[in-house]
Structure 1
Amino acid sequence: MTFTCFFGYGSLVNRRTHGYTGARRAAARGWRRAWRYTADREVAFLTVIPDPACTIDGLVASVPADAWPTLDLREHAYERLDARDSVTDAGDGHPAIYAIAADRLNTPDDHHPVLLSYLDVVVQGYLTEYGRDGAARFFATTTGWEAPILDDRAAPRYPRAQDLSEGERAFVDRYLQTLNCRIIA
């Protein structure tokens, strides 16, 4: 199958984490984000799971044919799936969406937490692309907030960590508090 673009719904929404030009806002129907982990990574990260009643915001960006191996390496814990029937605003492109295989999904725990530095990058992307309302939709269309969240801001473990403004950090912290998330050191 020949894909021409990706639909990003996590860190790929933050343009500072990649060099794909021409990215534009889009949505994917029939998917919901979830925090999960696999044996491929020590920490939990976002994936999509089927949910016919949900639509998630994200970005679509073209990928040159010779750049797919690099993107696949970045997204090595995922399978690349056909998203042509669910992604809006892909134009004439044939979008792929990355998802963890259903038989490899594990619920995060204290040994496999969500990195706050990763969450910060994702939310920064949504704030930039969609504003506060769009970032609020990110939280609302993501499940798994009972996962422990490792506060690694002082020494980020996420390889594409970004500096956040005071307002961006406060936005993330406020939502985590509202959702009664458990922050671990």
Structure 2
Amino acid sequence: MNDPAFFGYGSLVNLDTHDYADPRPAKLHGWRREWRHTDLRDLAFLSVRQDADSVIAGVAAKVPGGDWSSLDLRETGYRRHDVTDQLSVDGHRAVTAVYQVDPTYGVPPEPQGILLSYLDVVVQGFYRLYGASGVSDFFATTDGWQAPIIDDRAEPRYPRHRILSAEERSLVDRHLMQVGAC
């Protein structure tokens, strides 16, 4: 990996949502996923926060020529952080960034909703890249499941939504029940 890379831990794990080169399974040390509520919008963002005891799975892919502009646009509301020293991917090393919701954004008094069409895309990506155990790991290494789940499957609001198989839908629904999400 000579080009710089990003570490994706949510929708970017679903390789059908982008065409970045050379995607590879990767682990990010010292970070944990969370549903982050902000005053920017009425929906929760999937984000990360530093946590020395945590390791999360995801995907690393190249950013050709270091041109971050289109990825920065996709990740509006997030800030890039250099995580080169915290990433493990196939023994290769490249300048790597992770996107985190800007911590300066205000937090509303009540948890905001999580779009099911967005979560479906994330889980589908983890299932395809890591199998059922990867989906279980995603739910176990993500905080904030007390937020309400907004079931928009019939009319998806997430712009990169995907159609799930019955097995994939069942995985999402079963894990949501296990974490007590409503």
Q: TM-score, normalised by structure 2?
A: 0.92
Pairwise CA distance, 1:45: 1.8
Give the corresponding residue for 1:98: 99
What whole-Å deviation, never above 9, does each CA across 1:126-181 have from its counterpart, x for those lacking one?
A: 00000000110000000000011100000000000000000000010001111121
What whole-Å deviation, never above 9, does each CA across 1:29-83 have from its counterpart, x for those lacking one?
A: 0010000133333311210011111100000000113641111000011001101
Contact 1:127 1:135 in 2 (8 A): yes
Pairwise CA distance, 1:106: 3.0
Q: TM-score, normalised by structure 1?
A: 0.91
Give the corresponding residue for 1:8: 8
Q: Which amino acid aligns with 2:70?
A: T
Give the corresponding residue for 1:65: 65
Contact 2:84 2:93 in 1 (8 A): no
Contact 1:37 1:108 in 2 (8 A): no
Q: 2-side partners of 1:26 and 1:45: how far apart?
A: 21
Contact 2:13 2:59 in 1 (8 A): yes
Give the corresponding residue for 2:120: 120
Contact 1:114 1:147 in 2 (8 A): yes
Q: 2-side partners of 1:12 and 1:113: how far apart?
A: 20
Q: Which amino acid aligns with 1:72?
A: D
Which ranges of structure 1 fall in alignment gaps of 5 or more residues? none
Question: Quick one: percent identity of the two aligned structures?
Answer: 48
Give the corresponding residue for 1:76: 76
Q: Which amino acid aligns with 1:132?
A: A
Q: CA RMSD in A?
A: 1.7
Q: Secondary structure at the match of 1:50?
A: strand
Pairwise CA distance, 1:108: 8.4
